[in-house]
Amino acid sequence: MANEKMIKLKVNGAVHSVTTDPERKLLYVLRDDLDLTGTHYGCGEGQCGACTVLLDGRPTRSCLVPVSAVEGAQITTIEGIEKSGALHPVQQAFLDEDAMQCGYCTSGMILAAVALLRRTPHPTEDQIQQRMQGNVCRCGTYRRIIRAVQKAATISAVKGGAK
């Protein structure tokens, strides 16, 4: 189409070239063009956090960001946080604490928690609630999510930090 442009995206350490409308939202490019379907569509309006990815380490609503705005940024999705087949400490803690029911919010919750623990390795319960309040869980598993983030902080401390 006439208004399409070739855009280079750095996702999970790999460079991808996509030809698309520059105003198209990152969420749709990740899911539909790059097949990274772990990033979920919830509200499409920046209200739920299901579409959270990390942009240069910052949790970001991918449903709101035009793909042209993130050219050159390091984009991390849920598929990109395990290392050499080992789950990230936050992923492991979510499993250990059974911090999911339907799982729809989980990838966004995990990425929000990864960003939180990088900035604040030993968060209080209040800090976890505050920093993750923009991520909505329709199943109401908040208590277990908080326990999982606390457990991830412990696992990360043993492993030398949440990377």
**Footprint of ligand FES on this chain (CB under 6 A)?**
41-44, 46-51, 61, 63, 100-105, 137-139, 141
CB-nearer residue toward ligand FES: 9 or 100:
100
Q: How far is the CB of 2 from ligand FES (least distance, A)?
A: 28
Contact in structure between 17 and 7 (CB atoms under 8 Å): yes
CB-nearer residue toward ligand FES: 41 or 87:
41
Q: How far is the CB of 37 from ligand FES (least distance, A)?
A: 13
Q: How far is the CB of 129 from ligand FES (least distance, A)?
A: 15
- Chain centre to alpha carbon of residue 83: 16
Q: Name the phi and psi angles at 114, rounded to 5.
A: -60, -45
Other CB atoms within a 10 A radius of the CB of residue 117 amount to 26
Q: How many CA atoms lie within 13 A of 132 on its CB side?
A: 32
Q: How far is the CB of 122 from ligand FES (least distance, A)?
A: 25
CB-nearer residue toward ligand FES: 47 or 154:
47
Read off the DSSP letter of residue 114: H
CB-nearer residue toward ligand FES: 44 or 66:
44
Q: Which two tokens stand for residue 142?
A: 């908040």
